[in-house]
Amino acid sequence: MTAQCEATAKLASGAPMSFFERYLTLWVFFCILAGIFLGQAAPGVFRSLGSMEVARVNLPVGLLIWVMIIPMLVKVDFGALHEVRRHVRGIGVTLFVNWLVKPFSMAFLGWIFIRHLFVHLLPADQLDSYIAGLILLAAAPCTAMVFVWSRLSNGDPLFTLSQVALNDTIMVFAFAPIVGLLLGISSITVPWNTLFTSVVLYIVIPVILAQFLRRHLLAKGNFDEAMRKTGPWSISALLITLVLLFALQGEAILKQPLVIALLAVPILIQVLFNSALAYWLNRAVGEKHNIACPSALIGASNFFELAVAAAISLFGFQSGAALATVVGVLIEVPVMLLVVRVANRSKGWYETGLANQRSDHENA
């Protein structure tokens, strides 16, 4: 275990939720209202911002996304990848849920709710786009906020760090193929060039830049101070992006305000299902509670900054896909705090089950 790895784990496990993070749902709600109001008051300004594109990449959003993502990725220590061998069963559960269950279960829930149960309550021309947004949301495992959820559930910080590093490594290669596969299965046209461009712009390049910046900060000895100063940047850039998005989405939302609530239903079910599955599987394979918690929490939460960026690049500011990813942002904090609370309160049940497993094994 390197000293750098220990330092990053300490930072990740010890940093409290920031003011912005704690009230993220409230800020998102205010951004919805502010965006709708500003979009109605100055539509020309926001149409101009929305049209500033090069190769279907919106330049203002591209800059904001980098400000969101890079400070998060600086915290990721890819040197922690060797730590995965210490908890192979927990890592196995994490990978199974994140890559083989989560994206596919979300596509299935989207098919059930968007194409069938809610089909008459949603605009017909956006049905495919809503499903695409849900798929993008589920195909991007959480990178930054999982450190917060892990700390609140007393999760093992080194395990949390190692599973984030492994997930981010896999995401570089698996995000585009999984999204493309599920969009194809859902009969949604896949703009492959734009999809791969999004992966390069919002995953590959930020990862490379973040790791160079991380090494520089560690060499200078001011890594912790830089993380504290740049902490609010990610959330602030996200909120500005949401104002832009809702300024352009405002007309559609005012006509059908129920859309946000309907999109929240499959997202909520997916979060609860995947967190419960990962939590139970860790107990079944005999992992400790402080491993099961971060494993379950990363399976429930999403890298919503990446999902928002990809949705805007692939389908545009005014698409249902962009709106669906933002609904994920809206419910992220309250739902994840609920999952944390359940994990903490069920610790006795979890550890009793582990003790019974050990006893049965010894008796056998």
Angle (CA) 69-44-29 rounded to 5° is 45
Confidence grade of residue 276 (pLDDT, cut at 50, 70, 90)? very high
Helix (H, G, I), strand (E, B) or coil at 346: coil
Instruction: Kindly report, residue by residue over 61-96, the tens digit of the pLDDT.
Output: 778 888 877 887 887 777 777 777 888 899 999 999
Residue 338 has pLDDT above 80, yes or no: yes
Instruction: Kindly report, residue by residue over 216-229, the tens digit of the pLDDT.
Output: 888 888 777 777 77
DSSP 364: -
**Of 7 and 271, the one with more pLDDT:** 271
Confidence grade of residue 55 (pLDDT, cut at 50, 70, 90)? low
Give the whole-angstrom CA distance, residue 327 versus residue 329.
5
Within 8 A by CB and 6+ apart from 209, the residues are: 70
Instruction: Kindly report, residue by residue over 140-198, the tens digit of the pLDDT.
Output: 888 777 887 888 888 888 888 888 888 888 888 889 899 989 988 887 877 777 778 77
Confidence grade of residue 268 (pLDDT, cut at 50, 70, 90)? very high
Residue 282 has pLDDT above 80, yes or no: yes
Q: Please give the share of the chain, as a percent, with pLDDT higher than 70.
A: 90
Residue 136 has pLDDT above 80, yes or no: yes
Residue 6 has pLDDT above 70, yes or no: no
Q: Which fold has domain 3-356?
A: Na+/H+ antiporter like fold (1.20.1530)
Q: Where are the domains of the chain?
A: 3-356
Q: Are 121 and 291 in contact (CB under 8 A)?
A: no
Question: Long-range pairs for 191-197 at CB < 8 Å and ≥24 separation?
Answer: 191/56, 191/314, 194/55, 194/56, 194/313, 194/314, 195/310, 195/314, 197/55, 197/56, 197/57, 197/313
Confidence grade of residue 1 (pLDDT, cut at 50, 70, 90)? very low
- pLDDT confidence of residue 267: 94
- pLDDT confidence of residue 140: 84
- pLDDT confidence of residue 87: 84
